[in-house]
Amino acid sequence: MEHWIYPKLKVEGFPSTPFGDSLQMKKSFRMLWHFFTINILGTAIMDYIFYFTDWYSDPQRIVLARAIALEWFAQIFVCFCISHFSPKQLIKAFQWLILLAIGGLTWLGTTGS
């Protein structure tokens, strides 16, 4: 997706902050994009391993899966903090529901068996 979306983002669309100018913010956005992609892939791989293999014993598997789920819930909390707990912004940008689904399904996977 980066090849389709990132080139269309104009430097003028990013604010300058105390951390850098608009170009630096665009570069930070790209780095965050890669971090998020690796995070989703890592979660998917770990969920696959938990479900289809006996790589971990049960108690260890549950603790690690719940830690992963809590990490996704923490990202949702950050989304709420960034939006200053504004429901209007979060209704317009509903992607946080995807994070909720990932965390929720990972957590629910630890309660089934």
Q: Which residue has the higher pLDDT, 90 or 48?
A: 48
> What tens digit of pLDDT does each residue of 26-57 get?
888 888 888 888 988 988 888 888 778 776 66
**pLDDT given at position 57:** 65
pLDDT at residue 8 is higher than 70: yes
**pLDDT given at position 55:** 67
What share of the chain in percent tops pLDDT 70? 91
Residue spans of the domains in the chain: they are 56-113
**pLDDT given at position 80:** 81
**pLDDT given at position 34:** 86
Q: Report in angstroms the alpha-carbon separations of 111 from 15, 18, 55, 56, 102.
A: 44, 44, 18, 16, 15
> What tens digit of pLDDT does each residue of 57-68 get?
677 788 888 999
Give the separation between CA 21 and CA 101, rounded to whole angstroms. Answer: 35
Give the separation between CA 107 and CA 113, rounded to whole angstroms. Answer: 12
Give the separation between CA 94 and CA 22, rounded to whole angstroms. Answer: 25
Q: Which residue has the higher pLDDT, 83 or 63?
A: 63
Please give the single-letter amino acid code of residue 98. I
